[in-house]
A and B are shown apart, each in its own frame.
Chain A
Amino acid sequence: MGLKVLAVDDSKTMRDMVSFTLRNAGHEVIEGNDGQHALSVLGGQNVDLIITDVNMPNMDGLTLIRELRGMPAYKSTPILVLTTEADGAKKNEGRAAGATGWIVKPFNPDKLLQVVAKVCP
């Protein structure tokens, strides 16, 4: 029942951690270095879940979400925002861009999997 997940973060450390956690739980992960790169590795293929960082060069996470929501394939794909900012304004930005939910960095692996389970039936 593994999910196909796109993980986007400009920090390799974070990408590694997200990917490792998800792969260990039996999910398939593809990775993007930033918003622009994510769109190109995605290339229109279907994914079950997208997890993205906010602060990234080239294209930030919020722009990425807006781009994705504008594409029919990802209109209803759950998107989680990885953020270190726990304050309301930042979260609201994520939600306004069309994110499904958010996870605060640093996350513990169990927490990440729980949230994944929460948004992916």
Chain B
Amino acid sequence: MSDLGDFNLDQFKATYFEECNELLADAETRLMSLQQSPESAEPEDLHAIFRAVHSVKGGGGAFNFDQLVHFAHIYEALLDSMREGKAAVTEEVVDLLLSANDVLNNLIQAAQDGEDLPEEAWADVAVELEALQSGAAVEDDEENDENDDEIVDLTGDDPADVLTDGGNGTEKIWKIEFSPEPHLLQYANEPLLLIRELKTLGSLNTFIFTDKLPMFGDLKHDDIYFSWIFFLRTDKGQQAIEEVFEFVEFDCTLTVTEAHEGDFERLVEALGGTASNAGSIEADEGVSWGLFVDEKSKDEIESAQGWGLFDDDEDTSDDPVKSKDDIETEQGWGLFDDEVEKEVSPAEDTTSNKSSTKTVETKPTVPAKAKLTTPTEAKKAPAAKPASGGGAAKISSIRVDLDRVDRLVNMVGELVITQAMLQQQSSGMPIEYAQMMKQGFDDLAMHTRELQDSVMAIRMQPVKSVFARMPRLVRELSGKLGKKVDLVTSGENTEVDKTVVELLADPLTHMIRNSLDHGIETEDERLEVGKTPRATVHLSAEHRGGRIQIDIADDGRGINRERVLGKAIEKGLVPENHQLSPEEVDELIFMPGFSTAEEVTDVSGRGVGMDVVRRNISNLGGRISVSSVPGKGTKFNMSLPLTLAVLDGMVTAVADEKYVIPLTAIVESIRPEKEDIHRLATGGEVVFVRGEYIRLIYLHDVFGIKGASEDPSKALVVLVELDGGGHAGIVVDDLLGQQQVVIKSLEDNYDPVPGVSAATILGNGLVALILDVDGLTEMTHGRGASRRNVQSEKDLLVQSEQKYG
């Protein structure tokens, strides 16, 4: 790679792997839809899957991922048969294709890690694919064999190198008869270039036959009228010579035969033409050429020379001659004809070429008049209708590095802060200036907000990418569990921040597993209670209230409350003989360490329960809840913020400190009456609001702030909703206003702080902490207090009321 010193394949790998992931994900989606209705397969799906695998193979070959290419080739061959209708599309076949997709995925992963997979990881599927493929194309045996050869080609070093290595030392003279079809030029092939290339192989003697040249008036500018006989003395083989003509194989008659010393001279003599440099075959440089002219066309020599073919040729005779080594590398591109690749005698070769020429020949269809158009005119013409034929295809998307987008998001965040700061500072201005500035600030505020929304929108992605993995999961699990389950998804195009999309996969997977394992009955059980044998799981997403809502609903047996309660009591999570409402029982499944499965199956995971799901979702600023109707089914609802970059918050003041409470958590703010506040026996206080006792959290207590008002009836209580559906009351001095704040991670910039989810910078440049209300509750009431102790809190309250009465 002499002149390409820095052609380093590694630089393309990242693109390739990214592309592979996209392609295979798309292929999988299409396979899933094929599986739903294999009998009515969309041809476009098959084509697209084929293209995906094909692209994976193409790129893989470039990086020498041999295993990957080998497997992709087998996979692709079956897909090709399928799209050509040679192999049937059945559920079993699609199952196999899905496995193949998995294997390919693993191979890509392995390639990315720079490893090879053990053969057993892919060989079985490969054998199955091949079996189907050969079954589909028994009559195409020969073609298959050829494909197999090709695999060797792609995976190993070019074996053909050996074949074409001309440096075998034995010099031979070859007679090459070359008669191009008149239309040769129309595919942009030039005899001149061919002759030049031929010259690089050895020393060349040339005859040109001009007898077919018409009178000048009948000349068509894009037709060829000449034919040639070359005598080439070279140590390269026949294949090297044929390679020169590979692109024109179907547009000419070509015979390459071995000749003998003196054949050239004898031909010159026999034809009675003039031969310059005759007999100087030995000459290494410079072209010897002969001109054969019959009586009639003698006058036309000039016009033949007027074409300048030979002049050109001679001008370039001192072109840098290609090294012999170059020739070897020319395998891998070549003949338009597979017949030549087989060992055939020159004579047979010619006939087969002739016959193929006839079948594929396309007659020039442009009328003679048009052909007289000069090349310059011809070139001008199309400029008049640019792209009109092509249609207005636009690039509908670009790929941008996530870092760049994040930087943009960050900068806009800073801008929002600056804007808020400016606005705040301007409020202290004399009234006459303030008036002038106000309009400007309002516009600025509006535009920054719009800018921020637009930038956030860049990061938004449809949840499709996560949803698309679920059908697969359902299919595999239902197979494993022996249940029949259909997954119905809706709202796949609902958009949410990329980070959120990525973090959705685990909770979703977990919940669907849960539904299938625990929620959905076996076929028999379903039939017994009069349900359809196939169960349905609905997975849906929608935007509601500035958040994304994701529902997972099944039509299974519902939560077995008796069993849940029994388990909870047995595990000591709930005190015995306490009445819980059905909803409260359902909520128990989110408690840490809770698992109703008698034994841990390999489906629902090991020991990781719904509590982890809840915690993960909570970490995203989301909430999860469950509702269940016995015998009818269970529905999980996840509610998540659309972005993790900004947050709508209520800025509150506690003495001189500012805290931001996420707006989504806030139910209302109240100033309670003194008599509604009750002290608990265990310490701590509750406030009585509309029939419910709510724990109070004194921020000044938690964060050790001096100078805050300690009497809730003189301060404000912000009621917030907790993860588990309970409430807490956060006591603050004042509410300063609602504001969109830019989230600055504490973990990244400092250390995690309990009770605080993140920080932000306010308009005045001061840092304010964003409260994690669930964390706060846990801190003040002990771990797991948010929901678990609801019942016991009530008990305590009852006790305390009796006490303080």
Contact = CB atoms under 8 A, between A and B. Distances in A.
Contacts of B335: 91
Interface in B343-365: 360, 362
A79 B247 CA distance: 11
A109 interface: yes
A110 B4 contact: yes
Interface in B295-341: 326, 329-330, 332-339
A40 B187 contact: no
Interface string B143-162: 10011001001100000000
A103 interface: yes
A33 B143 CA distance: 31
A119 B336 contact: no
Interface residues of B, number: 71
Given A91-B336, A92-B336, A105-B62, A100 B1 contact: no
Contact of A33 (B55, B147, B188, B395): B395
A46 B395 CA distance: 21
A56 to B, nearest CB: 7
Contacts of B393: 34, 36-37, 39-40, 58
B387 interface: yes
B338 A88 contact: yes
A40 B379 CA distance: 18
Contacts of B804: none
B181 interface: no
A99 interface: yes
B58 A119 contact: no
Contact of B7 (A24, A71, A76): A24
Contacts of A119: 188-189, 193, 247
Interface string A24-45: 1100000001101111101111
Contacts of B189: 78, 100-101, 119
A2 B246 CA distance: 25
A54 to B, nearest CB: 9
A101 B246 contact: yes
Contact of B329 (A73, A96, A111, A118): A111
B333 A104 contact: yes
Contact of A44 (B59, B386, B399): B386
Contacts of B4: 21, 24-25, 109-110, 113
Contacts, number: 197
Contacts of A14: 55, 58-59, 62
Contacts of B390: 36, 38-40, 42-43, 67
Interface residues of A, number: 69
Contacts of B381: 72-73
B337 A114 contact: no
Interface stretch (B12-20, B560-568, B790-798): B12-20
Contacts of B3: 24-25, 113
A73 B59 CA distance: 32
A42 B55 contact: no
Interface in B61-79: 61-63
Interface string B172-198: 000000000000011111101100010
Nearest to B378: A72
Given A36-B393, A44-B386, A100 B15 contact: no
A36 to B, nearest CB: 4
B7 A21 contact: yes
A72 B58 contact: no
Interface in A64-83: 67, 69-79
B534 interface: no
Contacts of A20: 7, 11-12
A111 B334 CA distance: 11
Given A11-B59, A16-B15, A44-B386, A88 B339 contact: yes
A87 B149 CA distance: 10
A46 B246 CA distance: 26
B367 interface: no
B529 interface: no
B498 interface: no
B70 to A, nearest CB: 13
Interface string B378-399: 1101111111011111110001
B47 to A, nearest CB: 8
Chain B, interface SS category: helix
B541 to A, nearest CB: 27
A77 B188 contact: yes
Contacts of A87: 143, 146-147, 150, 338
Given A87-B150, A118-B193, A119-B193, A107 B333 contact: yes
A13 B16 contact: yes
B186 A76 contact: yes
Nearest to A17: B12
A18 B251 CA distance: 28
Contacts of B383: 44-45, 73
B379 A92 contact: no
Contact of B62 (A71, A88, A106, A115): A106
Interface string A86-98: 1111011011101
B48 interface: yes
Contacts of A58: 393
Q: Give the residue among A11, A42, A76 with the most B Cβ atoms within 10 A.
A: A11
B19 A107 contact: no
Interface in B701-723: none
B6 interface: yes
A92 B393 CA distance: 29
A121 B190 contact: yes
Nearest to B17: A13
A95 B7 contact: no
A75 B333 contact: no
Nearest to A99: B187
B391 A101 contact: no
Nearest to A120: B193
B51 A12 contact: no
Nearest to B2: A110
B165 to A, nearest CB: 16
A11 B147 CA distance: 23
B30 interface: no
Contacts of A33: 395
B382 A44 contact: yes
A101 B197 CA distance: 15
Contacts of A88: 336-339
Contacts of B394: 40
Given A14-B58, A102-B247, 14 more contacts: A13-B59, A24-B7, A44-B384, A71-B382, A73-B378, A84-B54, A86-B332, A87-B146, A88-B336, A95-B360, A98-B186, A108-B1, A114-B326, A114-B330
25 contacts: A10-B55, A13-B62, A16-B15, A20-B12, A21-B4, A21-B7, A24-B3, A37-B393, A40-B390, A40-B391, A40-B392, A44-B382, A73-B381, A79-B187, A84-B58, A86-B150, A87-B146, A95-B250, A98-B187, A103-B333, A106-B62, A110-B1, A111-B332, A114-B329, A115-B333
- List the 6 closest pairs (A to B, CB-CB), nearest first: A39-B390, A88-B338, A73-B382, A106-B61, A106-B62, A101-B247
Interface of B: 1-4, 6-7, 11-12, 15-16, 19, 48, 50-51, 54-55, 57-59, 61-63, 143, 146-147, 150, 153-154, 185-190, 192-193, 197, 222, 246-247, 250, 326, 329-330, 332-339, 360, 362, 378-379, 381-387, 389-395, 399
